[in-house]
Amino acid sequence: MQVTHSFLDRIYEFLSRRVAYHLLFWLVVYSTLLFLDYGQNQNVGLALANESITLVFYLLIAYTNLLYLIPRWMRKSIPMYLLLLIGFSVLITPIQVLTLFLLLSGYVNFQAALIQQQPLFLLGNISLALLTTVLHIIMDWWRYQQEKKELITRTMESELRLLKSQINPHFLFNTLNNLYALTLKKSDLAPEIVLKLSEIMRYMLYECNEQQVLLSKEIQYLNNYLDLERLRQPEGASIQFEVEGQVSHQLIAPLLLVPFVENSFKHGLNHQINGGGYVHLKLEVAFDQLVFVIENAKSGHLPAVSFNRSGGIGLVNVRQRLQLLYPDRYHLEIKDEPNLYRVSLYLDLEKT
């Protein structure tokens, strides 16, 4: 399947070149002319000579149109352009007929038919000229769409790099603050903390440079993050993470879920003065769809959670990442109440 796809890509790339599709076009035109001429006269030599001359005049009309009339006159004045195009076709047609007439010396019947069919030659020349105009417009539109698509892709990549550059330093500083708080307590769990911190940093600095990572690695990152938070939070705080479904080869954008988790602690559990707060996460995978729900307790005396704070990536940027990476493939629900805050994300995943 991969070989077939690669072969089709190479064919598409070849046919996208100007020389290639021009040659293909004229090959089709010439083959059609030969087929029609031979079907009418049953003379291979005569058909080859006749249609070769016709093709030369078609080439003259087409490339005069493409290289001179369209770039010089079409954008200035369409009526003038059409007048010049038709006028050139009218001028070329008698020369074409005379050339064929001389070629057919000795074929009196063909010469007589040729004189009678001059209006058909004129119609054919005008039709070809207009056809090249239409094809030129179509190809210009196609090239514009390709350039637009490439520009959008470059813009998306640039925005994603910017968003990642905003994410990584923030999480690094947040994790170091956690480690600092625990070292002040002279915790015996320092080796475990350092190990989890090293895993977090490795993930952020190296693996997050990819467009997508394995969902299992993102889950491991969340587990490490939550373990550090469990060590830092006071007793009585409830931090739970439940994973359901088969997590195997699904892919996800790196650090896509972490901002929601970080905000749950920043604006929720960290403000529970009397303890007893909670952050509960549930991640479910079914048929390559991810459902991620995170809920945290809130203090009723605090203002509503704001994701647009300085130093964080903000809900606006989370939505932007989702829109850039998963257009029409996600649904985000946010429930903000006096005593709880819940985020539900539904996401269509890809497989390796």
Q: What integer best gives the mean pLDDT of the chain?
A: 79
Residues 107 and 48 in one domain: yes
Residue 334 or residue 169, greater confidence: 334
Residues 26 and 142 in one domain: yes
**Looking at 86, 119, 147, which one is the last position of a domain?**
147
The domain tally of the chain equals: 2
Residues 7 and 83 in one domain: yes
Residues 52 and 198 in one domain: no
Per-residue pLDDT tens over the stretch 140-158 = 888 888 888 788 777 766 7
Tell me the mean pLDDT in the region 319-336.
88
Q: What is the pLDDT of residue 310?
A: 36
Q: What is the pLDDT of residue 319?
A: 84
Q: Is residue 273 part of a domain?
A: yes
- pLDDT-derived band at 304 (thresholds 50, 70, 90) equals very low
- What is d(CA 184, CA 207) in angstroms, rounded to the nearest whole number? 31
The structure tokens listed for 84 are 């010049």
Per-residue pLDDT tens over the stretch 13-53 = 655 677 777 888 888 888 887 887 777 766 777 778 778 88
- What is d(CA 306, CA 268) in angstroms, rounded to the nearest whole number? 11
User: Which residues constitute the domain of residue 256?
Assistant: 187-351
Residues 203 and 129 in one domain: no
Residues 30 and 140 in one domain: yes
Tell me the percentage of the chain whose pLDDT exceeds 70: 80
Q: What is the pLDDT of residue 161?
A: 67
Count CB-CB contacts under 10 A for residue 199: 16
The structure tokens listed for 262 are 């970080």
Per-residue pLDDT tens over the stretch 91-116 = 988 888 888 888 777 677 777 777 77
Residue 3 has pLDDT above 70, yes or no: no
What DSSP string describes 167-182? HHHHHHHHHHHHHHHH
Q: What is the pLDDT of residue 70?
A: 87
Q: How many angstroms separate the Cα of 84 from the Cα of each of 55, 128, 219?
A: 21, 14, 68
> Does residue 301 contact residue 267 with C-beta atoms inside 8 Å?
no
Tell me the mean pLDDT in the region 222-227.
90
- pLDDT-derived band at 280 (thresholds 50, 70, 90) equals very high
Residues 275 and 341 in one domain: yes
Question: In 185-269, where does DSSP find H-type helix?
Answer: 190-205, 215-232, 258-267
Q: How many angstroms separate the Cα of 138 from the Cα of each of 127, 132, 133, 142, 144?
A: 16, 10, 9, 6, 10
Q: Which of 268, 249, 271 is nearest to 260 (CA)?
A: 268
Burial class (CB in 10 A: 0-12, 13-18, 19+), 115: exposed
Q: How many angstroms separate the Cα of 212 from the Cα of each of 34, 219, 305?
A: 54, 13, 29
Residues 127 and 253 in one domain: no
Q: Which of 93, 143, 100, 154 is nearest to 122 (CA)?
A: 93
Asked which of 173-182, 204-213, 218-227 is least confident by mean pLDDT, the reply is 173-182
Asked which of 87-91, 168-172, 302-306 is least confident by mean pLDDT, the reply is 302-306
> Does residue 212 contact residue 350 with C-beta atoms inside 8 Å?
yes
Q: Is residue 156 part of a domain?
A: no
**CATH number, domain with residue 294:** 3.30.565.10
Tell me the mean pLDDT in the region 114-143.
86
Residue 167 has pLDDT above 60, yes or no: no
- pLDDT-derived band at 9 (thresholds 50, 70, 90) equals low
Residues 115 and 206 in one domain: no
- For residues 229-263, one letter each, b for 16 or more C-beta atoms within 10 angstroms of the residue's C-beta and e for the rest, the string is bebbbeeebebebeeeeebeebbbbbbbbbbbbbb
Residue 173 has pLDDT above 60, yes or no: yes
Q: Is residue 158 part of a domain?
A: no
> Does residue 342 contact residue 294 with C-beta atoms inside 8 Å?
yes
Would strands 238-245 and 278-286 be described as parallel, antiparallel, or unpaired?
Answer: parallel
Helices (H) and strands (E) in the chain, counts: 10, 8
